[in-house]
Structure formats: C-alpha cells, structure tokens
C-alpha cells in the first residue's frame, strides 16, 4: 500500500519561481529604500559648500547612486557588492565631526535622518513583497 | 519632571561625577572661560508620531536621544566620568547608542560625545 503524489516537479518549480521573485523584490525594495533614504539624508544635511550633502549616496549590488556636485567620487562610500544589504552615507572626512561636534545646531543630522528612514523601510519592502506575491 | 531635568539632577548629584565636575553640566556649548572637566548636554533627536484612524488620533510612544559631551584635560578623568556616566544613565533607563571622540581646537580640550536613548518617554 502506498500513496503516490504526482506533480511534485511542478510544485518545486513554482516554489523556485516564488523564491526568485521574492529575492528580486527584496533587492528592488532595498534600492527604493536607498533612493528614499538618500533624499531624506540630503534634506537634513547642513550645507556650507554642498560637498557633504552632495556626497550622500547609497550602494547595493555594486550599484551606487545619489552623488551630486561639488562632491567627488572619492567622497562616496565604497561600492557594496551584496544584493540584500543597502548602505547609505558618506565618506567625507569631516562628516563625523559635523554629526557629533557641530556647535551650530547641525549635530545629530544623521541620527535624525536615520530615525526618519527607519519609518519608511517597512512600507516600502511590504509594497515590493506584495507585488511579487500577486 | 522632564527628562532633561531628571538627567541633570541624576548626573550632578552622583558623588563620583560631581567630585570631578561639581555642577558644571551645561546646556549646549562650553566656553574657554569655563573650568574643566565639565559636561555639556542637549537633545540630539526626539521621535514619535501621531497615528490616525480607529477611535481618533493617538500619539505613539516617544523616544528621546540626549547627547552628553565630556570635556577634559586628562584621559584619566575621561575614563572615570564616562564609566560612571554609564552607571547613572543606565539607572535612569537610558542605553548608549553612539559615541565619538575628538580634540576641540577652540577650547584646547579633549571631548567625547556620548548618545543615550530612552524609549517611551512621557515628559520630554
């Protein structure tokens, strides 16, 4: 006596398809988080000559975006090869000094940005996952 | 009592810290004329939104982030103040989230920034 289950190949194929589209959705979602996050950071970044604000970028899957003049490529983060991690920020040497030790009220601009970004991550990722599962 | 007042009172009445700084814990920036070591503090961020719908408008819990800067002449004082500050702030329910150190050229003093967050604040 036995039970024969038919169609497992098709089930496996469909599961693989769902897994792939969820993975793609995650990367797309993180790219949108990066774009939105950089715009939030730029809104909060204090401006003197614009170098710090222009240097704010995000990087994911060897892609990097957000760089604006007068910042140069050396002011930006190193490219991140991972598809499931997005990194936002700057490589400008005085950024840390502005964030922690500015005496003109600019201190904490990055912390405030981070707290604002935290709130948009969940709805953005939810949107992309829902699309992938339709 | 507001969070800022609670922090000020707890830090300046701590025996170890007040033994070094007295009551020299200032809001915002110290000046060259001040006596060191001393502390400065300010609000780095406060978060918490209103949500709409259901029975009406409700306020979400607020998080308060306070930055306390330690200005010293001697590294020994820096370590003593920093470790005791952690004891005092943890006792108030704060946890440290960030820190950084630099040399303040205008004051010619070593300065260490410490950031502390308290969740579910009722009076800020």
Residues B69/B33, Cβ–Cβ less than 8 Å: no
Encode pLDDT of A15-65 as tens digits. Answer: 888 888 999 999 999 999 999 999 999 999 999 999 999 999 999 999 999
Tell whether B67 lies on the interface with A, counting CB pairs under 8 A.
yes
- CATH at B101: 3.30.2000.10
Encode pLDDT of A55-89 as tens digits. Answer: 999 999 999 999 999 999 999 999 999 999 999 99
Residues of B in contact with A108 (CB under 8 A): 44-45, 65, 67
Binary contact (A111, B29; C-beta < 8 A):
no
* Prediction ipTM score: 0.83
Binary contact (B65, A96; C-beta < 8 A):
no
Q: Write out the residue range of the structural domain in which residue B79 sits.
A: 3-121
Per DSSP, the three-state class of B14 is coil
- Cross-chain CB nearest to A96 (options B29, B100, B111): B100
Residues of A in contact with B102 (CB under 8 A): 97, 100-101
Burial B106-115 (b: 16+ CB within 10 A, else e): eeebbbbbbb
Total count of domains within chain B = 1
* Confidence (pTM): 0.84
Is the Cα dihedral B113, B121, B95, A45 positive or negative?
A: negative
């Amino acid at each position: 006596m036995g039970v024969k289950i038919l169609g497992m190949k098709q089930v496996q194929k469909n599961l693989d398809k769902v897994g792939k589209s969820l993975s793609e959705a995650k990367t797309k979602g993180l790219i949108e988080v990066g774009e939105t996050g950089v715009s939030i950071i730029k809104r909060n970044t204090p401006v003197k000559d614009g170098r710090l604000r222009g240097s704010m970028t995000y990087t994911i899957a060897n892609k990097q975006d957000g760089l604006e003049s007068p910042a140069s490529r050396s002011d930006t983060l190193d490219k991140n090869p991972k598809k499931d991690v997005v990194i936002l920020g700057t490589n400008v040497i005085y950024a840390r000094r502005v964030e922690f030790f500015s005496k003109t009220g600019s201190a904490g601009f990055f912390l405030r940005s981070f707290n604002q970004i935290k709130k948009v991550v969940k709805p953005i990722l939810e949107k992309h996952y829902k699309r992938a599962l339709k | 009592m507001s969070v800022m007042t609670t922090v000020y009172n707890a830090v300046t009445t701590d025996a170890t810290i007040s033994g070094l700084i007295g009551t020299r814990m200032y809001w915002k920036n110290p000046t060259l004329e001040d006596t060191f070591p001393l502390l400065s503090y300010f609000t780095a961020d406060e978060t918490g939104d209103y949500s709409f719908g259901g029975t009406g408008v409700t306020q979400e819990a607020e998080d308060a982030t306070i930055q306390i800067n330690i200005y010293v002449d001697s590294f020994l004082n820096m370590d003593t103040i920093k470790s005791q500050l952690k004891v005092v702030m943890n006792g108030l329910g704060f946890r440290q989230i960030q820190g950084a150190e630099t040399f303040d050229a205008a004051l010619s003093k070593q300065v260490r920034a410490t950031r502390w967050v308290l969740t579910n604040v009722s009076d800020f």
